[in-house]
Chain A
Amino acid sequence: MLLTDGSESSIKSFLKTLSPVDQVGAEARAAMLATRSIKTSSKLWAIDTAISMIDLTTLEGADTPGKVKALCTKAVRPDPTDNSVPHVGAVCVYNDMVKIAREHLDNNGGKEIPVAAVSTAFPSGRASLDVKKQDTEDAIANGATEIDMVIDRGAFLSGNLGKVFTEIVCIKEICGDRAHLKVILETGELVTYDNVRRASFLAMAAGADFIKTSTGKVSPAATAPVVLVMLEAVRDYFQMTGQRIGVKPAGGIRTTKDAIKQLVLVNETAGPEWLDPNLFRIGASALLNDLLMQRMKMKNGQYSGRNYVTLD
């Protein structure tokens, strides 16, 4: 079903059909779901599920091949002492590290782990469309099978929705069937939940396979109400089109408790169908070690020190 023909007026009129979001109510719902008490067997299940959904990320100016390789080793075997720990969902790096990551994964038993590249002049998105296209083309040529692009928030906030839409369509075309497209909304810069909902629908209508909260460079990032609003959006989009779009919260999810709250949000908002690494990812780095420590605690009955999990 075609929701919009991509023209400015058609995008605007489509987004106007969306129900508004009440800030107080959305925050209250997210806060209520945060009170769910996940214990024993369900906690263990949630920890392993969360590990398998992590996009293990390093996005620093100081990233080196050595750092990226270490990250990839960890992605394949998060806990070297326990083979029952699943591998993570993907490794997420900058464009120039894609090839290094891909090769290292392939050579170390991680063939099935995709490499995601942040793209389109991440994190600000302030570059020409040609540069953004080239950025994406490069990443895919080097072996990225997931592209995490940023939207032009300036264009969105100034009402230039056609520009935002067109950019996503262009990047999607480049991705084709070679790469999955995750569209980063940078909700911390969109600020209102109405904007989050509209941007989510805009991205989905333009061809996003995933909608992602944040770059991790702006605070606040993946707050529970923002993720709630995005999960409602993918659920409603499925009702409209029959197509399931994924959601990726990223930034600020550091503890097992945070991760479990995310899974509860998914379960009770979009529904259990989304509890799948193909439809839900968590962009994180420090989170993995906390999950591993909680997992050891559940298995052994005691907390391990931080030196019992590997740094990277």
Chain B
Amino acid sequence: MKFEYAPAPESTAIVDIKPEYELFIDGKFVASKSGKKFETINPANEKVLSRVTQASAADVDRAVKAATEAYRKTWSKLSGAQRGKYLFRIARILQERAREFAVLESMDNGKPIRETRDTDIPLAAAHFFYHAGWADKLDYAGLGDNPKPHGVVGQIIPWNFPMLMLAWKVAPALATGNTVVLKPAETTPLTALLFAEVCQQADLPKGVVNILTGDGLTGAAIVNHPGINKIAFTGSTEVGKIIAKSVAGTKKALTLELGGKGANIIFEDAPIDETVEGIINGIYFNQGHVCCAGSRLLVQENIKDELLEKLKRRMSLIRVGDPLDKNTDLGAINSAAQLMKIREMAESGDAEGAERWSPQCNLPEKGFWFPPTFFTGVSQAHRIAREEIFGPVLSVITFRTPSEAIEKANNTPYGLSAGIWTDKGSRILWSAQQLKAGVIWANTFNKFDPASPFGGYKESGWGREGGRHGLAAYLKGDFS
């Protein structure tokens, strides 16, 4: 008997996408001085969703001025408890409008509704709740007496978790008393613009949050604006390096959350079925567009065959297709450019002699799609073992002993995440001590919590986001 799941599409009636959007500056939507617009599309069908504004340097200047005024006149005059009140209000509105955000995020980004509904949006609200609680307790955060905000912070966020990354940036900035100029990614601006409406709905004082859509030029104008006191960036290591150079020699504070090539280490005594789930969740969650993805599978050689058999079986169950279908597991690649990059990297794997495997799956004709894939026969020297692919492509590497596993895991310019799978508690503790990665998961992967600091070693970035450590990035004091 065959159990076919009939289409179960989430309705899009709940979202109201305007044909055009302006910039959100000083509490209002205003036209750009440049008047330039660009399209944002649904990557699952290539249909245009809306046209958004390309913010110019003059717009950035306007936004920074509004944020500065808001900082001086209102936001810095409020008590922590009063700031917290706004954050709680925003958090509640995000929960109330969760389905609207989930549907819009899925449409603009291509990720499955199951993930936006169950992960992105609930976590975004959780970040606001968490930081709302900190707003009046900063004196007790272990960061010295009366730590002070930077003032105006510039925030540039990526396209892989648009709303969640906005929450990671905006919630701690506001809780600590900063005002914000934020630029969402070029391909995923719509939930940030919906968030601007939430700021209005919450009666957030004007100018506290300003949202500028645009491309890298807008980002550069934010980074280089002299009125900005701190930059927080999440994105590629390549752009992170450019930002670090631009900021060097200025008084601007900087946090960077960059790329990764996370090792997911499977020891022979791992609970195998849950490990397979963890591998799937590590690399095929969010189409592999995850900086902390477990993109390198380090498996002990004596269980490799059994593990790969199980992995293949499980991968053939991954449902690829319409992101708005509630049963979809793997959605669309976010953009044509990203799809090109993933293809190019996968082809380098073929060319360098690794062996590619994907389950049989029917990809839609329109839109940007890449099947869940892994490569075996990968060595440390392969490009697919060293460079971030940022797609649903896993590189399988074997090891013989625990110390070889650690050595290989650390043999990367990155250091964002790692996973350890074993039934032995002592081995978890030992491995975690040896691994040079900012986040280490034991017998799980890609679990996030606002109370847990997130960030990288080496080329994966500077500073931490989330938790008590994340507050430090938005405060000045004698603690750093």
Contact = CB atoms under 8 A, between A and B. Distances in A.
Interface of A: 19-22, 24-26, 28-29, 35-43, 45-46, 49, 232, 263-264, 267-268, 272, 275-276
A42 B6 contact: yes
Interface in B271-326: 271-275, 277-278, 317, 326
Given A19-B271, A22-B443, A276-B1, A35 B118 contact: yes
- Majority secondary structure of chain A interface residues (helix, strand, loop or mixed): helix
B61 interface: no
B277 A19 contact: no
17 contacts: A19-B270, A19-B271, A19-B272, A21-B273, A22-B275, A24-B274, A25-B271, A25-B273, A25-B277, A25-B443, A25-B444, A28-B277, A35-B114, A36-B326, A39-B6, A41-B6, A276-B1
Contacts of A20: 269, 271, 423
Contacts, number: 74
B354 to A, nearest CB: 27
A22 B274 contact: yes
Given A22-B443, A49-B1, A37 B326 contact: yes
B271 A22 contact: yes
B430 interface: no
A46 B277 CA distance: 26
A37 B423 CA distance: 33
Contacts of B275: 22, 25
Nearest to A233: B273
Interface residues of B, number: 25
A24 B2 CA distance: 30
Interface string B400-443: 00000000000000000000000100000000000000000001
Contacts of B3: 42, 45-46, 49, 263-264, 267, 272, 275
A259 to B, nearest CB: 13
Contact of B443 (A24, A39, A43, A46): A24
Contacts of B273: 19, 21, 25-26, 29, 232
Interface string B1-25: 1111111100000000000000000
Contacts of B444: 24-25, 28
A159 B148 CA distance: 62
A8 B3 CA distance: 41
B5 A25 contact: no
A36 B4 CA distance: 12
Contacts of B423: 20, 22
B327 interface: yes
A267 to B, nearest CB: 4
A35 B326 contact: yes
Contact of B4 (A35, A42, A232, A264): A42
B29 to A, nearest CB: 36
B274 A38 contact: no
Most chain A beta-carbon neighbours within 10 Å: one of B8, B273, B277? B273
B18 to A, nearest CB: 29
Given A272-B1, A275-B3, A21 B326 contact: no
Nearest to B268: A19
Contacts of B443: 22, 24-25
Contacts of A268: 317
Q: Which 9 A-B pairs have the closest CB atoms?
A: A25-B274, A37-B8, A37-B326, A22-B271, A22-B274, A19-B272, A42-B6, A275-B1, A267-B3
A42 B326 contact: no
A25 B278 contact: yes
